[in-house]
Amino acid sequence: MAVFQDYALFLAELATIVLALVAVIVIATRSRGGRGERDSLRVRRLNERYEEMRRGIERVLAPSRKARRRLRREGRRQRRRGGGDGEARLPRVFVLDFDGDIRASAVESLREEVSAVLRTARSDDEVVLRLESGGGTVPSYGLAASQLARLRENGVRLTVCVDRIAASGGYLMAAVADHIVAAPFAIVGSIGVVAQLPNLHRLLKRHDVDYELHTAGEYKRTLSVFGENTDAGRAKFREELDAVHGLFKQHIARYRPGLDVARVATGEYWLGSQARELGLVDAVGTSDDLLLDRAERMELIELTWQRREPLSRRLSLVLESALTRLRA
């Protein structure tokens, strides 16, 4: 009986997967069909969009009755001291999160969150970014670092907290901060560039398989997966890697001028306490302690830009998860 029960359960799971697959195919087919009828150009004024961001944040930040009483008392104290206009307020900390994958997919949300902050931030406000990333592609993490640079360029103080890891592209982002805090055993550094690919040329040659690659431009393709690689191609590829590494080091030196870049730009990584001694970070601690400290004198505001996946994408993720469980 146990065998039949297991078999029935297997059939039920298989039927569920098949139905989900059919649903995904139907939705994808319908989205392609009639595309000319349903697609349209959506036009909207971006300044209105940013104004909506500002109003939304200010609605949430409207002080409670208790907070208003406290601010009025502070205002009276300021007037008695003869300073200020009597309108006391607490500075704010905007708390952001960045959980990085190899493509830095979270940059799409980060850019919106930074734009929202810049619409409302005042001179004494601060952004705290809880960063976790082991790095990834150069263009993606370069864009993420550029989003953080927008804050500094607009005079908004930026603090980055590393509780677990900020390596390679993750540290490229962290270096932009005015202040970096890392947990004692967080992984920090890995200032280097890596690229690797297999070469199947000898395998194809052994089986009499020809592979042709035609390019216009001497260095359009330096190394190939299927073709025969040359010493000249390898040298050029290495030159390109060194150029990217050089830009990485220039970036670090720009934002952390007191750091001995030659000492730390070896591709190695260090734990938080070691990174503090080397100057890669400014303090050792956790994001929890930092935010608790800020909460004593500032208002903490967490911002999260949520992106809604299309229905077809969500169904495909469900199907992928079901297939994974079945294989397990």
Question: 249 and 114, same structural domain?
Answer: yes
- pLDDT at position 37 is 46
Domain count, the chain: 2
Question: What's the distance, CA 310 to chain centroid?
Answer: 21
To the query of whether residue 168 is one of the catalytic residues in this protein, the response is yes
Query: What would the pLDDT profile of 26-63 be if each residue is shown by its tens digit?
Result: 665 555 544 444 555 555 555 566 677 777 777 776 76
Structural domain that includes position 319: 2-28+311-327
Options 40, 64, 123, 220, the catalytic residue: 220
Which residue is it, tokens 């952001």? Answer: 96
Please choose, from the candidates 17, 39, 30, the residue with its C-alpha nearest in 3D space to the C-alpha of residue 312.
Answer: 30
- pLDDT at position 198 is 87
To the query of whether residue 220 is one of the catalytic residues in this protein, the response is yes
Cα angle for residues 275, 167, 153 (degrees, 5° grid) = 85
- pLDDT at position 241 is 87
- Which token pair is 82? 């003869």
Question: 315 and 248, same structural domain?
Answer: no
Query: Is residue 53 in a domain?
Result: no
Options 109, 133, 168, 316, the catalytic residue: 168
- pLDDT at position 324 is 47
Query: What would the pLDDT profile of 255-283 be if each residue is shown by its tens digit?
Result: 999 999 999 999 999 999 999 999 999 99
Query: Is residue 184 in a domain?
Result: yes
Question: 260 and 177, same structural domain?
Answer: yes
Question: 316 and 257, same structural domain?
Answer: no
Query: Is residue 9 in a domain?
Result: yes
Residues of the chain with pLDDT under 70: 1-12, 22-50, 61, 63-88, 308-328
Question: 322 and 297, same structural domain?
Answer: no
- pLDDT at position 131 is 96
Query: Is residue 260 in a domain?
Result: yes
